[in-house]
Amino acid sequence: MTGYRAGLISGTLAMAFVGSSAAVSPLLTDYPVLTGQAWRYAAAALLLLGYLWLRRLPWVRVGRSDWARLVLLAATGLAAFNVCLLQAARYTDPPVLGAIVGAAPLVLAIVGPLLAGRRPSPLVATSAVIVVVGVGTVLGGGDFSLPGVLWSLGALAGECLFSLLAVPLLPRLGPVRISAYTCALASVMLAVAALLVERSDVATVPTDVEVLSLAFLAVFVTAVAFALWYAAVGSLGVDRAGLLAGLVPVAATLIAVAIDTTTLSLQVLVGAVLVGAGVSLGMLPPRRRPGGGEAGHAEQRPASRRSAQVEQVGGLP
């Protein structure tokens, strides 16, 4: 179970890093969002590629089908995710947006196994329902509209595709390469989007605080968190790893309490307990088959990383 525990630890750390961005995101409200995201992913890609070079890891040939999947992953799980998140934030309140994107554990618990050719685990699916209810409780309610819900559903799709599309690539490319390549591709896509949408604002010079904030997002919330997350997906399976995504709003809220930007309410405590209970239930060791295999966990190489709103509402990209 060593690999299983390692996956649990790496996934939890990844979500803790993503949740920590809630303390940094407010410092970037005056900086062009798409431009900032482009810089963030570009810096993360350079860090990850530098890590591969320093480790002198062997070159792995990336075929055309692999590149097509990587491009699709970057386009949907990173670039489009950010666009949908930004648009959703214009039409609905953050708690509603976060609750919809927070349904990712349930989607991954069902869709992940189906794509792998096996039936979803009733235990993991039940755990995912508990986690999603807990996320909704932590975030609370808010106003919403049809456009806001539709954009939020788009963000939810991007959040799930960020993991699902990586599953077939993990055995050959590994977590660091996938993270590096998708960050590089997303940075180009977002740079183009910034030129089209933010136009002259792309030349905005960031302040010292904004530079430090973008650096934090690039290093910890992107480069480190992405690699840890994909490692968790490869060890736990996309369905079980997806449960850990519910920790993001909990971590973000607890950090906000720690830095005295919010207060700890009974509602948040109840939600955090529900998320913890759901994750704990879903992470119970898989049952052993008589022959030594693990029932309900045949797939071990599966896979669920944002603008300021992303980290706050519970998404990874």
**Mean pLDDT calculated for residue range 84-102:** 84
Distance CA 39, CA 35 (A): 6
Q: Which residue has the higher pLDDT, 81 or 290?
A: 81
Give the residue ranges of DSSP H helices in the chain. 2-20, 33-54, 64-73, 81-91, 94-101, 104-115, 122-139, 146-164, 170-197, 208-216, 225-236, 238-243, 247-258, 266-282, 308-313
Structure letter (DSSP) for residue 117 = T
Give pLDDT, residue 222.
Answer: 95
Calculated CA dihedral for residues 73, 78, 83, 86, nearest 10 degrees: 150
Taking the whole predicted model, whether its pTM rises above 0.75 is answered as: yes
| Token output for 73 | 């992953």
Confidence of residue 303 (pLDDT cuts 50, 70, 90): very low
Please give the Cα distance from 290 to 261 (Å, whole number): 53
pLDDT tens-digit readout, 106-163? 999 999 999 999 999 999 999 999 999 999 998 887 777 888 899 999 999 999 999 9
Note the pLDDT tens digit of each residue in 245-288.
999 888 888 888 888 777 788 888 999 999 999 999 998 866 65
In the predicted model, what is the mean pLDDT of residues 239-250? 92
* Cα 8 from Cα 131, distance rounded (Å): 16
**Backbone phi, then psi, for 287, in 5-degree steps?**
-65, 140
| 3-state class (DSSP) for residue 296 | coil
